Amino acid sequence: MKTVMTRHGAFQTGSVKVCVPLCESNIEQLSNACAQLPRDVDVVEWRMDYMQARKQEDWLDGLTVVRNGCADRILLATWRSQREGGVQEQSLADYVGLYEQVITSGWADLIDVELFTKEECVVHLVEFAHRHGVKVILSNHDWQATPTNEAMMIRLQAMQRMGADLVKLAVMPHDVQDVYRLLQVSSEYSADPNACPLISMAMGEMGFLSRLCGEMSGSIMTFATFTQASAPGQLEWRKMKHLLELFHEGYRGEAL
């Protein structure tokens, strides 16, 4: 699997980063949350769709607050659509325009673009981001079910073909077999030395195992709660970080 370098850190096999989402609805709340960010948080995701703003400049003000609060941590800027779990919607033109401003600001290390956005817009944003030194996560979130193994693999491979630096797949399991299938597809995809770094998870309480065993299944980042959860099944970030350390010791044979 490829190593991806951002301005503030690298994503690579064998190292699972913990990402905490900031889901505050206004600048004051965002500023307070940033002031409390612990030093050992790996990645901060600013969920822009949570913020109530009147114009795009308000989101850029929020981005400045988050960047200043993040210091040298990796910053991921995300607008999640309602169809994939976001809290508000905007037009496609506004979606593209906001991401263009985020990219040109120079504050974000990565952006998250949904695979099922209009294809020409995805291609444009990937190319635009790369011209400005910003990495791109192409993502898909299925809140209803866990697709077939073939469908999951097709989506991951489509993300890679469209120029993703990292690929992300989140699914909703209905039974433990769905969780196992997600882990199987993750492992198969990550086994390709030319694959993009993968972020994968099964959501909800049933999917917790998938958030923990990324080092084994090939997923290089997991999401954990700081101020509030952005998806079901996220554990408090300190607990998640501790469990990942224990898993690493056991998986690498370092446990006592």
Residue of 17, 132, 135, 141 with catalytic role: 141
Q: How far apart are CA 170 and CA 225, in angstroms?
A: 16
Q: Residue 241 catalytic?
A: no
Which of 2, 8, 55, 168 is catalytic? The answer is 168
Active site residue 168: yes
Rounded CA gap, 81 and 78, in Å? 10
Give me the active site residues, please. 141, 168
